[in-house]
């Protein structure tokens, strides 16, 4: 089995030293940088906005994997694109016009992702899959880092892997929430190729990041 790409969620980083933290995970061997944007409306937490993404952009050349948990979302897409997002992922549960939002992300020249909450079935992707570059399966309810992996999502990951393979296109299948070396193994076996990991990357401080990322990559 191929090793997964690792996208550490900076939600678990030290927010007072965010630039240094991004450089540290870059040097520790992360593949992407996962940025969790929360608005206190769609999810019960508030994190960061496009200005912070812009401030972090010079600190690494790695892919900025921006996960928008905000509603409404359309009016902020351009700000995140201009701030340096490479992939912009949105939630169909957060708005009425997901197809329009996906088209808007692509029109900005960015890769478009769609994320499904734990209670959202894979069928929500049926009329979107041909237009998107990434599916993000939430294996916790969005809003906070450090929650436990919801095992029922493995069945959804398997089903989405089949859907993706049937398209014949190169669409990433990413998992977010409660990913650690044990659950990582199950996710990759189910068909995921990108793993978000907040707590499991940042635990123990900067001296541990390389070891933590290697443990996630090696858990296949
Ligand atoms: C939850 C976020 C996740 C979260 C992951 O809403 O989308 O990215 O920070 O954190 P861990 O890896 O600690 O579960
Ligand atoms: Zn996320």
Instruction: Out of 31, 36, 39, 193, pick the active-site residue.
Output: 36
Q: How high does pLDDT run on average in the chain?
A: 98
Please report how many Cα atoms fall inside a 13 Å half-sphere around the Cα of residue 172, on the Cβ side: 24
Give pTM, 2 decimals.
Answer: 0.98
pLDDT tops 90 at residue 9: yes
Atom of ligand 1 nearest to the CA of 199: 13
CA dihedral sign, ordered 15, 202, 87, 187: negative
User: Which secondary structure element, helix H or strand E, spans residue 13, and what is its range?
Assistant: none
| 34 marked as part of a ligand binding site | yes
Instruction: Out of 39, 65, 133, 176, pick the active-site residue.
Output: 176
Q: Write down the pLDDT at residue 4.
A: 98
Show the ligand 1 pocket: residues with CB < 6 angstroms: 9, 11-12, 34, 36, 67, 140, 142-143, 145-147, 176-179, 196-200
Q: Which domain holds residue 140?
A: 5-217
CATH number, domain with residue 118: 3.20.20.70
Reported as a single tens digit per residue, the pLDDT across 118-154 is 999 999 999 999 999 999 999 999 999 999 999 999 9
Number of domains in the chain: 1
| Cis status of the peptide bond prior to 37, with omega within 30 of 0 | no
Give ipTM to 2 decimals.
Answer: 0.98
Reported as a single tens digit per residue, the pLDDT across 70-97 is 999 999 999 999 999 999 999 999 999 9
Least distant ligand from the CA of 141 = 1
Q: Write down the pLDDT at residue 74.
A: 98
Q: Write down the pLDDT at residue 125.
A: 98
SS3 87: strand
**Is 165 one of the annotated active-site residues of the chain?**
no
Least distant ligand from the CA of 148 = 1
Is residue 74 within 8 A of residue 48, CB to CB? The reply is: no
| 191 marked as part of a ligand binding site | no
Q: Write down the pLDDT at residue 110.
A: 99
> What is the average per-residue pLDDT within 208-218?
98
């Amino acid at each position: 089995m191929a090793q997964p790409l690792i996208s550490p969620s900076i939600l678990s980083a030290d927010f007072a030293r965010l630039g240094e933290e991004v450089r540290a995970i870059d040097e520790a061997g992360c593949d992407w940088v996962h940025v969790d944007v929360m608005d206190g409306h769609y999810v019960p937490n508030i994190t960061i906005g496009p200005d912070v993404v812009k401030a972090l952009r010079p600190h690494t050349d790695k892919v900025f994997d921006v996960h928008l948990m905000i509603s409404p979302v359309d009016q902020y897409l351009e700000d995140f694109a201009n701030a340096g997002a490479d992939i912009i992922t949105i939630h169909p549960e957060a708005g009425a016009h997901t197809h329009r939002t996906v088209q808007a992300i692509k029109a900005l020249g960015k890769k478009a992702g769609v994320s499904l909450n734990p209670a959202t079935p894979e069928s929500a992707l049926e009329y979107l899959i041909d237009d998107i570059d990434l599916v993000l399966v939430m294996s916790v309810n969005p809003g906070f880092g450090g929650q436990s992996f919801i095992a029922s999502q493995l069945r959804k990951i398997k089903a989405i892997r089949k859907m993706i393979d049937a398209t014949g296109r190169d669409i990433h299948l990413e998992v977010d929430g409660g990913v650690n070396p044990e659950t990582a193994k199950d996710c990759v076996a189910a068909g995921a190729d990108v793993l978000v990991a907040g707590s499991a990357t940042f635990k123990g401080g900067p001296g541990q990041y390389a070891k933590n990322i290697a443990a996630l990559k090696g858990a296949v």
